[in-house]
A and B are shown apart, each in its own frame.
Chain A
Amino acid sequence: MILTETSVEEIKEKAAKYPRRKSAILPALTVAYRQLGYVDEEIYREVSKVIGVPNVEIAEAATFYTMFPKKPRGKYLIQVCHNISCALLGADSLISYLEEKLGINKGETTEDNLFTLISVECLGSCSTAPMMQINHDFHENLTRDKVDKILAGLKAKA
């Protein structure tokens, strides 16, 4: 098993609340994603066993939703909103700035495996644009200064 016992327990606990087993698919994928940062076929199979739902149903759901990458990403997944409200306030330039700072292109991971940079659809921070989400945290009203500080902070922490 790749899923830890804690994850399995958490999945079971969540699954137990729903009137039907199949409803546990998204909660289970979320738990797996939190543990691993990705969800692949092996995980589908494990989840399928834990919640007692056919493997194919897990795979169908998992690939429908964009939040569950199939491969591991860098330690920090930077998701920059490129949608309209953010774009009006320079999201595209924010992405270029990050590409430059990290020395990677959008969609890539830094060599030290620390940062992966992707752009995503609207994350509901339209009035605090531009923004990016790093792992689970939102960073809003971004400026060059702010970005520099955030990246430096994360690097120092790593």
Chain B
Amino acid sequence: MFYSPVITNAAEAAGHKDLHLFKYIEDPQQHKIETYEAHGGYKAWKKVLKGMSADQVIEEVKKSGLRGRGGAGFPTGMKWGFVPKASTKPRYLCCNADESEPGTCKDRVLMERDPHGVIEGMAISAYAIDCHLMFIYIRGEFDHCRERMEQAMDEAYARGHLGKNINGSGYDLEMIVHTGGGAYICGEETALLNSIEGERGMSRMRPPFPAIEGLYACPTIVNNVESLASVPHIINRGGDWYASLGTEKSKGTKIFSLSGHVKRPGNYEVEMGFNLKKLIFDPEYGGGMLDDKKLKGVIPGGASTPFLTPDMIDVGLDYEALQTVGSMLGSGAIIVINEDACIVWVIKKLIHFFRHESCGKCTPCREGTGWLEKIINRIELGQGQPGDIEKIEDVCGNILGRTICPLGDAAVMPIQSAIKQWRDEWLYHIEHKKCMVKTNFEFK
């Protein structure tokens, strides 16, 4: 069986009373239901079924202050509360395991190594919104995750944690593992719903919001894997406990995927508000810059978030703190870039991605990303023209905030910040028809 070689801070988590998602993550047997149960698994689910109402579950999660870990950071309990109580239509829960934001590789580890944690979280969340059919949407490339999740699902059915009349409670809950087909946009919640419906994975207009009219036009909640995996712990230890972790507005713990030019890239579970600089440089975590090169910049929340320059990284990893420095927490993917990277080259990689992944539904994103890619490529190739930077900025302005879904914003925010932070480098590139720093990263 495949086992992702990613580094985690499991040892620390095991010894740390408040780190929970990664507590047993390095136990090679954790994906098995016996091990999971022996570690206290499915206790929360039983507790809910035995004596909690849906409203009580929602209340507890609201109290915990849990915010969505998929990128937007929307309060999870509040979102669940939007499901119309009076609706007679079925409700659906979709666990978003599309994990395609460049830099992000945390949900994958949870699914591979602790699949039952995800299922238990999904089950409790489903219960909270009176849902009887839940989906997990796994990106198609994650075949190992699909296999793990399906195995775990079968075990859960066999143990009576899923299916009809669960644990004699009268509650029925079915689960479907749905796999994607290669499309970043399907991580966007409405595109994800379209994808489950068998449509092209294009985002939908909002309103109506999925909580009112989502999958099959029924009330639907979409939550990220990590968000859902946090739920059993909140039920077990209480919303107040969870809320005691993290910062004032960003509660709990969060997994950060650290990648790029660091010595120890990996997934680290830390309390919200953890210092970014520490995460990169502390020997327990990132261990400092790879080959001790100089830091050029950091993308703190996945490829769609604005860059931080070295002087900005002494900052807490939480929604608010990152906002004050002009960036975002996003999915918690921290990409560390050393001084050998030409910024135009970095942006070329990113815009290629966003252009490739634009679903093509709305004009600004479809046409704009293509145009941007062309201009940026030409600068990279040393064929930039005077005025190109202004044109890029202008095109970005015509995309930002004007598209159906946030993919448009995601595509332009890093570009805008890259120009803002390293304008001279762009200018140099155009003027001298070559990079200011020669990018040449060799693999070992």
Taken residue by residue from 98 to 141, chain B's Cβ proximity to chain A (1 for < 8 Å, 0 otherwise) reads as 01111111011000000000000000000000000100000111
Min distance, Cβ B135 to any Cβ of chain A, angstroms: 9
Residues of B near any A CB (own CB < 8 A): 2, 4-7, 90, 99-105, 107-108, 133, 139-144, 174, 176, 178-184, 195-202, 216, 257-261, 265-267, 299, 303, 333, 335, 337-338, 341, 346, 349-350, 353, 356-357, 359, 441-444
A89 touches B179 (CB 8 A): no
For A82, give its contact among B133, B180, B349 (CB under 8 Å).
B349
CA gap between A136 and B139 in the complex, in Å: 12
Query: Are B349 and A87 touching (Cβ within 8 A)?
Result: yes
- Are A127 and B195 in contact, with the CB atoms below 8 A? no
**Cβ of A91: which chain B residues have Cβ within 8 Å of it?**
441, 443
Contact A126 to B443, CB < 8 A, known contacts A29-B181, A64-B183: no
Q: Which 6 A-B pairs have the closest CB atoms?
A: A65-B181, A90-B443, A67-B182, A22-B198, A25-B198, A66-B182
Supply 4 further A-B pairs (C-beta < 8 A) apart from A25-B198, A124-B142, A128-B5.
A17-B174, A67-B140, A125-B105, A127-B258
> CB < 8 Å: which of B102, B107, B180, B216 contacts A83?
B102
B216 cross-chain contacts in A, Cβ below 8 A: 19-20
A68 CB-CB contact with B under 8 Å:
yes
Asked whether, in the complex, the Cβ of A30 is within 8 Å of the Cβ of B353, the reply is no
Distance in angstroms between the alpha carbons of A127 and B331 in the assembled complex: 14
Instruction: Say yes or no: is A71 at the interface (Cβ < 8 Å to chain B).
Output: no
A88 and chain B: residue at smallest CB distance: B260
A93-147, CB < 8 A from B? 93-94, 97, 120-130, 133, 136-138, 140-144
Is there contact, CB below 8 Å, between A88 and B198? no
A7 at the interface (CB under 8 A from B): no
Q: How far is the CA of A128 from the CA of B108 in the complex (A)?
A: 12
Set of chain A residues within 8 Å of B357, measured between Cβ atoms? 121
Task: Write out the residue numbers on chain B whose beta carbons fall within 8 Å of the beta carbon of A136.
Answer: 143-144
* Structural contact, B353 and A122, CB atoms closer than 8 A: yes
Instruction: Give the residue name and chain of the A residue nearest to B345 (CB).
Output: A87
**Which of chain A's residues have a CB closer than 8 A to the CB of B182?**
65-68, 120
Task: Report the minimum CB–CB distance from A52 to chain B (whole Å).
Answer: 12
Smallest CB gap from A58: residue in B: B198
Measured between beta carbons, the chain B residues less than 8 angstroms from A83 are 102, 303, 349, 353
**Known contacts A64-B200, A65-B183; is-contact A26 B259 (Cβ 8 Å):** no
Judging by beta carbons under 8 Å apart, are A30 and B140 in contact?
Answer: yes
Over the window 19-41 of chain A, the binary record of Cβ atoms lying under 8 Å from chain B Cβ atoms (1 yes, 0 no) is 11111111101100000000000
